[in-house]
Amino acid sequence: MSDFPFLLAMIAVPAVGAAAVTALPKGREQTARQLSLGVSLVVLLLAVLATIAFDVGGERFQLTTSVSWIPDFGVDFALGVDGIALVMLLLIGVLVPVVVVASWREEPTGRRSMRAFWAWLLLLESLMVGVFAATDVFLFYVFFEAMLVPMYFLIGSFGGPRRQYAAVKFFLYSLVGGLVMLAAVIGLYVVSANELGEGTFAFDALRQVEIDPGVQKLLFLGFFVAFAIKAPLVPFHTWLPDSGAEAPIGGAVLLVGVLDKVGTFGFIRYCLPLFPDASRELAPYVLVLAVAGILYAALLAMGQSDMKRLVSYTSIAHFGFIALGIFAFTTEATTGAVLYMVNHGIATGLLFLVVGMLIARGGSRLVGDYGGVAAQAPLLAGVFLVAGLASLALPGTNSFVSEFLVLIGSFPTRPVFTVLATVGIVLAALYVLLLYQRTMHGPPRGVLLEPAPEAPAPTTGGGGGATAATATLEAPAAAPARLRVRDLSRRELAVAAPMVALVIALGVYPQPLIDLIEPAVAATMSDVGADPAGVSPEAPVEGTD
């Protein structure tokens, strides 16, 4: 079974599905939905079968496929996965069918047909698989840039009132980062040609190239800027709150659940193994950005009135923890960071979905327009609570194990940064619990109240009766009636149930994912020069001479 081209199939199936959806005649929206769901389930099945075929104790990169693409420049259409990439493919396989079902009743914006929505969604899935499966640096860059196009149209055509602004901002930020990385990719090719006698983009070959430390810094920064924008790290983060707030819910789930992980994945896959000296030397500066992001984004999240922007800021804080784990250079912390990437996609994806369900009922994204929802929609409130607790990494939820591994693995080498990062845990509890309390409990507010009926005009009798003004002041104001908030439908339960199950299952027993991730992380630590305990001999522990 390991000879089957799983990765090529996972790229081709959704790409062909997108073309098939586009070719459907006008008015076949139901067929487009059904076809999209079927295609996404096939990709999920392929991801599961690929995981079964993957040998945890085998070669670093498995399920490989390689076809010569541009031989004059040493470019191959080369695919392969290690444990880190494989868990990301599983995350894509899970999230896309969930997004399809969650968007089942989505209404088109303006004149756009929903067939276009499904087509862009499937094309995005194809490109996301490609970016994690590529083992040729040039091919990775192609997928990295091409991935912007479907997300641009998902935001710009099907998003909120400021969708065009958010889509352009997302595209420009990512494009600028990609162009900087392109310069570094070209530089890497030139360096490989000088060292090997022939230029190459093959990842395994590039790992063997001895690059001058000064050149390493320049190339590292070229890749780092692109990945820091995509992640995003502070101060490259400003596009995410706008894009997350204006994207349709399905697009927002994939944006924070998968697309942003390309940045942190890039740190692990490319920055550390290809530029180990630069990674060690510049790590303290990256950690400053990571911890600043944890604290700054958490404080901004507490002050948000827009629920979608709030969830977007929570993601920036979480990415700070992931970056901390990566640049701590210990196997334990980096394993936690990769696990965090998966668990964040599940927990924050669920939180975005529940927020979308709430917005669909009230028609408003503002926290202050809700209250008392739990009394009328207990299932919705329960799922909201599970998503919120997972987001703040409560023990027993999936995010806790990830955060614990990051912190316990980072402390031996980066104690100061680790202690500062723990403050973010307290802030996370504040912004999550405040959001839940304000929307689910207390009296109903804003959009959940029917306007009070107009009071009849006061009448006055003759002979010394009250004046009209006095009667108006004395008449009690009619209390506004409370609107009925419907609970989760069967379709919404079908969306939420598997996500809740994963939050609990991976919180109780994350070992299968850890077993997949750890060998690839150990190989990466070896590339970067870390000893078995994870401490780089060239990088002293903080607080030591």
Side chain identity, residue 335: T
Longest dimension (CA), the chain: 111
Residue 537 domain-assigned (yes or no): no
> Cα–Cα distances in Å, from 147 out to 112, 121, 246, 258, 443?
21, 11, 18, 11, 44
Does some domain include residue 466?
no
Q: What is the pLDDT of residues 51-96, one digit of tens each?
A: 999 999 899 999 999 999 998 888 999 999 999 999 999 999 999 9
533 inside domain: no
Q: Is residue 535 part of a domain?
A: no
Instruction: Determine the straight-line distance between the first and last CA of the chain, rounded to whole angstroms.
Output: 53
DSSP string of 317-336? HHHHHHHHHHTTT-HHHHHH
What are the helix (H) ranges across 148-275?
148-158, 163-196, 203-207, 213-230, 239-246, 249-254, 261-266, 272-274
Nearest to 309 by CA among 256, 241, 231: 241
* pLDDT reading at 539 higher than 50: no
Q: Give CA angle at 198 (195, 202), nearest 5°.
A: 90
pLDDT of residue 233: 92
Q: Which of 58-67, 251-260, 470-479 has the lowest mean pLDDT?
A: 470-479
Domain presence at residue 140: yes
* 3-class secondary-structure state, position 69: strand
Residue 501 · residue 301 · CB < 8 Å: no
Q: Give percent of the chain with pLDDT exceeding 70.
A: 89
Is residue 26 in some structural domain? Answer: yes
* Domains contained in the chain, number: 1
More confident residue, 50 or 539: 50
Entry pTM: 0.90
Of the pLDDT bands very low, low, confident and very high (cuts 50, 70, 90), residue 543 is very low
CB 256 within 8 A of CB 311: yes
pLDDT in tens, 272-329: 999 999 999 999 999 999 999 999 999 999 989 999 999 999 999 999 999 999 999 9
Q: Give tens-digit pLDDT for 491-532.
A: 999 999 999 999 999 999 999 999 999 999 999 999 887 654
Q: What angle do CA 160, 162, 167 make, to 5 degrees?
A: 90
- Judge whether 297 and 320 are in contact, CB under 8 Å: yes
Residues 230, 263 contacting (CB under 8 angstroms): yes
Alpha-carbon span 134 to 76, nearest angstrom:
10
| Inside any domain, residue 230 | yes
pLDDT tens-place string over residues 95-151: 999 999 999 876 655 556 788 999 999 999 999 999 999 999 999 999 999 999 999
Q: Does residue 458 lie within any of the structural domains?
A: no
Segment 397-453, tens digit of pLDDT = 999 999 999 999 999 999 999 999 999 999 999 999 999 999 999 888 878 877 655
Asked whether the bond before 451 is cis by omega within 30 degrees of 0, the reply is no
Q: Which two tokens stand for residue 78?
A: 């080369």
Which structural domain range is residue 337 located in? 6-450+482-528
- Amino acid symbol at 252: A
Instruction: Say how far apart CA 439 and CA 449 lie, in whole Å.
Output: 13
Can you give the pLDDT at residue 3?
Answer: 80
